[in-house]
Amino acid sequence: MLCLAITASLASFSTGLWASEPPFSATADTVFDIILDDDPSTFVCLAYEGRGTRQMWDKRQDDEFDLDTFVFSAHFSDMPPFEIVLNPEFETEVAARAEADRYGNRLGQIPLAFRHGIRRLGIHKGDEGFHAGSGKMFVYQDMATRRIGQKRLAESLLHESIHATLDNAYSLSPGWVAAQRQDDAFMTRYAQSRPDREDLAETALFAYALLRHPGRIPPVDSRDILARVPARIAVIRTILDTPPNVPSAPPVPEGCR
C-alpha cells in the first residue's frame, strides 16, 4: 500500500519536473570520467567454485532460465564475497575467468554504501543494456567492452549497484520523494522518464562525484548540479556518510587469485 501511495504521489507532482529539460541523457553517457582506472579498490581476488545451476534473467530473450553456470566468488576486503556467475555460452573456465576478471576491481572501486547489497553478478554474452534488481546485477560482454572503451564501465556498474543495494529502501521512500519534490528537476532524461525507478540510480553518480571527487566535474557543471538537485544530494550524502552494517570479510580461500 505504501508503494502505491508514493507512486500516486509521484504522478501528482507539479509539471515543473517534466517541463524542465534535464541537462544529460543518462549518467553513463556523460562526458565526465568519475571513477578512474587507478582509483583504489577493495577487490581482493576471484575464486573458482566450479559449475552450478543458477537462475539468470536474459534480456536477449526477455526471460529467466536455470543454467549450468560457471561460478566464481568475488572477495573484497570490506564485505563478504558474492557470486559472479557466467552463462555456459562462455564454454570454458578460462574464458569465463577472463570475462569475470574485468569486473572485480571496478566493483571494488564503488563505495561500500552503494555495493554492500550485491549478492550475485550475472554475465552473458551480447550487447544488451545492463540491468539489476534487489541483490542481483546482470551485464553483457559486448556492452561491457563498449563501456570500457568509453571509460564508463565502473560508472555503469555503480548505477546497477544502486538498484541492487538501495532501491528497496530509498527509491520510493517518503524522504526521497520529498527531496524530488523540493528539487523539482532531474539530472537526466532517463531519470525523468522513470522517476520511481531510475532517479536514485541516475542521481547517485553525480552526487558521488561532487561529494567524493569534486575535481572530476568542471566547476561550472558542479554548480549547475548542486543548484538542480541539492535535496537529493543531501540524501545521498547521508547514505555515503552512514557506514552500512555488513559482516566482516572472511579469510580468503586458497587458490583465490
Strands 63-76 and 82-86: antiparallel
pTM: 0.91
Question: One-letter amino acid identity for 79?
Answer: M
Q: What is the pLDDT of residues 76-117, one digit of tens each?
A: 999 999 999 999 999 999 999 999 999 999 999 999 999 999
Q: Return the pLDDT at 19.
A: 54
- For the chain, the structural domain boundaries read 2-35+166-241, 43-164
Angle between helices 93-108 and 153-165 (to 10 degrees): 80
Q: What is the pLDDT of residues 39-55, one digit of tens each?
A: 999 999 999 999 999 99
Q: Where are the alpha helices (DSSP H) in 150-218?
A: 153-165, 174-183, 189-193, 199-212
Q: Return the pLDDT at 119.
A: 98
Q: Return the pLDDT at 29.
A: 78
Q: Return the pLDDT at 20.
A: 78
Q: What is the pLDDT of residues 129-185, one digit of tens each?
A: 999 999 999 999 999 999 999 999 999 999 999 999 999 999 999 999 999 999 999
Write the DSSP string, 18-73.
HHSPPSBS-GGGSS---S-TTS---EEEEEEEEEEEEEEEETTTTEEEEEEEEEEE
Q: For residue 183, give the C-alpha cell.
A: 528539487
Q: Return the pLDDT at 195.
A: 96
